[in-house]
Amino acid sequence: MVTGKERHMPEYGLPAMIEEVRNGVRSDVGLPGCGITTVPESLRGLTSLQRLDLRGNRLVTVPAWLGELAGLQELDLRENRLTAMPDTLHGLVGLQVLDMGQNRLATLPAALSQLPKLKILNLQSNKLTALPETLGDLGSLQVLNVAHNRLATLPAALSQLAELKFLNLENNRLATLPASLGDLTGLTDLNLSNNRLMQVPDGVGGLISLHSLDLHGNRLTSLPESIGELAGLVVLDLSDNRLSRLPGALGYLTSLDVLRLAGNHLTMLPPSVCLLTGLRALSLNGNRLAAIPDAIGALTNLVKLNLSDNMLTALPEALDGLNKLAVLEVAGNPISPQVPAPTATPVPETRGRSWMFELVVRGLTSSYSYLGWKDANDTMFGDIAWLPHLTGGERSEAEDLAIATLQEGDPRAALALGDAGCARAIPALLGMATSASNTPYVRLFAVRGLMQLDPGAARAIAIEILRDSTIFWRDRCEAIRVLAIRPDSETETVLEEATADANPEVSTTAAWALEEIGEPRDPV
Long-range residue pairs from 196-200, CB within 8 A, at least 24 positions apart, any chain: 199/224, 200/224, 200/227
Task: Pick left, alpha or beta for residue 282 (phi over 0 → left; psi -120 to 50 → alpha; otherwise beta).
Answer: beta
> How many Cβ atoms sit within 10 Å of the Cβ of residue 283?
21
> Which of the residue ranges 74-88, 307-321, 471-485 would you say has the lowest mean pLDDT?
471-485
Same domain membership, residue 323 and residue 464: no
Mapped onto helix, strand or coil, the DSSP state of residue 47 is: coil
Does some domain include residue 411? no
What distance in Å separates the CA atoms of residue 15 and residue 28, rounded to the nearest whole number? 13
Residue 21 vs residue 345, higher pLDDT: 21
Q: Which of residues 193 and 453 earns the better pLDDT score?
A: 193
Statement to judge: residues 36 and 154 lie in one domain: yes
pLDDT digits (tens, 9 = 90+) for 133-169: 999 999 999 999 999 999 999 999 999 999 999 999 9
Do residues 305 and 244 share a domain?
yes
| Structural domain contains residue 378 | no
Give the up-direction half-sphere exposure of residue 134: CA atoms within 13 A in the CB hemisphere. 10
pLDDT (average), residues 205-216? 96
Residues 359, 232, single domain; the answer is no
Residue 297: which CATH number? 3.80.10.10
CB of 411 closer than 8 Å to CB of 432: yes
Identity of residue 208: I
Confidence category of residue 377, pLDDT binned at 50, 70, 90: very low
Bridge-based pairing of strands 258-260 and 143-145 is: unpaired
Indicate whether 221 belongs to any domain: yes
In a domain, 167, yes or no: yes
Q: Does any domain span residue 278?
A: yes
Q: Which domain holds residue 285?
A: 26-329
198 and 311 inside one domain: yes
> Quick check: 279 and 255 in contact, CB under 8 A?
no
- HEC string of 142-201? CEEECCCCCCCCCCHHHHHCCCCCEEECCCCCCCCCCHHHHHCCCCCEEECCCCCCCCCC
Task: Give pLDDT, residue 394.
Answer: 54
Q: Return the closest-CA partner of residue 74 out of 103, 49, 57, 95.
A: 95
Average pLDDT over residues 267-274: 91
Q: What is the pLDDT of residue 124?
A: 96
* CB crowding 373-388: b at 16 or more within 10 Å, else e: beeeeebbbbbbebbb
HEC assignment per residue over 77-143: CCCCCCCCCCHHHHHCCCCCEEECCCCCCCCCCHHHHHCCCCCEEECCCCCCCCCCHHHHHCCCCCE
Is 235 in the same domain as 359?
A: no
Q: CA 476, 478, 481: angle at the middle one, nearest 5?
A: 120
Q: Are 281 and 194 in the same domain?
A: yes
Question: Which of the residue ranges 2-16, 152-166, 188-202, 296-310 would you say has the lowest mean pLDDT?
Answer: 2-16
The full DSSP string for 323-346 is TT--EEE-TTS-PPP-SPPPPSS-
pLDDT, tens only, 324-354: 888 899 999 998 654 433 333 333 333 333 3
In this structure, are 484 and 447 located in the same domain? yes
Say if 467 falls within a structural domain. yes
Residues 172/146, Cβ–Cβ less than 8 Å:
yes
Tell me: do 198 and 318 sit in the same domain.
yes
CB-facing half-sphere around the CA of 439: CA atoms within 13 A: 11
Which letter does DSSP use for residue 520 in this model?
P
Of 268, 310, 276, 275, nearest to 293 (Cα)? 268
Shared-domain flag, residues 442 and 312 = no
376, pLDDT greater than 60: no
- pLDDT tens, position by position, 379-437: 322 334 444 445 565 556 666 666 766 666 667 677 777 777 778 888 888 888 888 77
The Cα–Cα gap between 81 and 59 comes to 5
* Length of the chain as a residue count: 524
Do 302 and 445 sit in the same domain of this protein? Answer: no
- The answer to pTM > 0.75 is no
Residue 397: the pLDDT is 62
Could you tell me if 365 and 340 are in contact, meaning their C-beta atoms sit under 8 angstroms apart?
Answer: no
- Strand 28-30 vs strand 120-122: parallel, antiparallel, or unpaired? unpaired
Q: Provide the β-strand partners of residue 145.
A: 122, 168
Q: How many CA atoms lie within 13 A of 82 on its CB side?
A: 31
Query: Could you tell me if residue 388 is inside a domain?
Result: no
Max CA distance (Å), the chain: 78
Q: How many domains does the chain have?
A: 2
CA 329, CA 361: separation in Å to the nearest integer?
8
Q: Say yes or no: 236 and 358 in one domain.
A: no
103 found inside a domain: yes
Query: Looking at 95-99, 125-129, 240-244, 427-431, which range is the least confident one?
Result: 427-431
CA distances from 294 to 320, 321, 454 (A): 11, 10, 43
The average confidence (pLDDT) of the chain is: 83
In whole angstroms, what is the distance from residue 428 CA to residue 414 CA?
Answer: 9
Q: Where are the beta strands (DSSP E) in 230-329?
A: 235-237, 258-260, 281-283, 304-306, 327-329
* Average pLDDT of the segment spanning 360-370: 28
Label residue 53 by pLDDT band (50, 70, 90): very high
Please tell me the least confidently modeled range out of 214-223, 438-447, 474-483.
438-447
Range with the poorest average pLDDT among 224-233, 275-284, 425-434: 425-434
